[in-house]
Structure 1
């Protein structure tokens, strides 16, 4: 398939000539550009096979979920029900509770394993190149839940400036998310949650950089899990699993609502747009003010390119159905650029 632009910069220039707001949707390719360690389909795939009393893959499959917290709840429930039916089987009860505690720790271990220990471990030049990529956009949506985008937003001394308003405000010495009073009140949206977010009863809180005692973010995440506070993350799973988790969170619901209010131009970078992302494409299709979508394709033509192109054709059809008047002039325009020409997480020369 022939690409419409030779470089990412050409695509930006094209959008500039037309005018209008620009947004970006980041997929796992954004994080993979930092390190191949981020090339994971599901966090559960990082679990060592010998870490549990049963095969981890079979355990997650039986739970019908890739969400660590869901698996932990299943193990706790199984242990409780077992006591009801056979209170004398202390060995099996102990194994279930032991694996529940292990899965809890594995969540932190798997998330932490793929990260640098601190934002300071990343060379400033790599932040600079990434901020240059993000700077043209007024809104940033991400499917990732790792810390890389957040760490990038903290680098205030490195030009250029990028959007960083994520809707969290300091209240009672805690960063709590509040529904913005205007669209301008939030410009960064973690569509699948983030490692440094956690649910506290009815609130979604964010861990503060250099939090209590000057602790690093990863240390705070580990402490939280040990205290029973799990990161608000939607790990890879079925579309139904993702939608159920999103539906139970006001924060995630709001982020997805905003994805349905796009205007002007949307760049999609590093996203596979698989069947599990249909809920994302449906929200984009609901954006009546969206006119152009630019999709980054990595490497030479391959089957993945064909799948992405098919997903985009489906997006065009869905938006036609959504719009009140779908004339030829109003049809969503899709353009493609080589994603490797967007120099993300690279040393600045």
Structure 2
């Protein structure tokens, strides 16, 4: 049975945790329906056009993630430099990828002025823990610009740097904690695995020079836009911040609301595992896209039931029409 969100709220359950997927962003801004930034770049012929040698690197690395190619080129440049070899050609390729990524992101991302920040921010802070697999800045912009700083945490404390030894929240009942499971546009990493937050992205998209080659001080974007679940999990486990977020998802208690997340067996199995294997999580409410026909909705419900089957203890499942939730309503769509 598919309920409305209001009917679920009428039940005596505690809904402290939220998991957002790409469907949430797509409802707000249609360009997010492109799951691959690389495909968008090529189909829309984003300037500067990626060079053939760059596309070969994507192919040879068997990836569609810009971050992987940028990292490979960065490492190559550093090695060549240490050997006294000319790095001009490699750095030209690095700039080609960097500028194309920057322009592609700007072409797909919702403008700051069109985001319904107040509505989204208020709804997000109804939860104590918000997990998102979206790379976009919708949650960050919405909360940073509308909610008091003492009502939100993202674990980037001193110098906007993440430290896995400093993740305690002293007043958990009064704040909303945000966890970017697959990274986000306002997060950066470097070859030493340091993770930082870009303050300049609080009301704007990252500037292109944030990713300029500066030898050992070069930073790379920290976000996973696509790939299989196995690939995503390997990236998560290799990064202290992403690994922290994933472990926190696997430890949540009571109830979880899932919005815009398909829980696909190929791409999202790591999320399913975090839900099913956590016996402290006892009930889950999942949004069902209201634009589907009734028979499609019923098939989707059966799909989720099969994906989240857990025998002991039993996981209680609820389903609700997506448009009945404030985070999926017409009120949050960009103009």
Shorter chain as denominator, the TM-score bin is: 0.7 to 0.9
CA contact (8 A) 1:29 1:269 kept: yes
- Please give the alpha-carbon distance, in whole angstroms, between the structure 1 residues aligned to 2:124 and 2:309: 25
1:195-221 alpha-carbon deviations (Å, 9 max, x no partner) = 10111434311011478xxxx642x44
> Whose Rg is larger?
1
Q: Work out which of the residue numbers 51, 54, 74 in structure 2 matches 1:53.
A: 51
* CA distance 1:58–1:310, change in 2 (3 Å): farther
Q: Work out which of the residue numbers 204, 222, 227 in structure 2 matches 1:232.
A: 222
Range moving further from structure 2, 144-153 or 241-250: 241-250
CA contact (8 A) 2:121 2:147 kept: no
Q: Work out which of the residue numbers 242, 246, 250 in structure 2 matches 1:256.
A: 246
The equivalent of 1:66 in structure 2 is: 64
Structure 2: stretches of 5+ with no match in the other structure: none
Q: Work out which of the residue numbers 6, 9, 13 in structure 1 matches 2:6.
A: 9
* CA distance 1:332–1:347, change in 2 (3 Å): closer
**How much is the aligned-residue C-alpha RMSD, in angstroms?**
3.4
Query: How many pairs were matched up?
Result: 311
* CA distance 1:297–1:64, change in 2 (3 Å): same
* CA distance 1:295–1:233, change in 2 (3 Å): same
- Please give the alpha-carbon distance, in whole angstroms, between the structure 2 residues aligned to 1:157 and 1:94: 46
- Please give the alpha-carbon distance, in whole angstroms, between the structure 2 residues aligned to 1:139 and 1:73: 31
* CA distance 1:302–1:253, change in 2 (3 Å): farther
- Displacement, 1:136? 2.9
Q: Work out which of the residue numbers 279, 290, 293 in structure 1 matches 2:284.
A: 293
Structure 1: stretches of 5+ with no match in the other structure: 321-325
* CA distance 1:95–1:48, change in 2 (3 Å): farther
Q: Secondary structure at the match of 1:296?
A: strand
The equivalent of 2:160 in structure 1 is: 175
Q: Work out which of the residue numbers 306, 309, 323 in structure 1 matches 2:299.
A: 306
- Please give the alpha-carbon distance, in whole angstroms, between the structure 2 residues aligned to 1:111 and 1:264: 36
TM-score by length of 1: 0.77
* CA distance 1:110–1:309, change in 2 (3 Å): farther
- Please give the alpha-carbon distance, in whole angstroms, between the structure 1 residues aligned to 2:298 and 2:76: 44
- Displacement, 1:74? 4.6
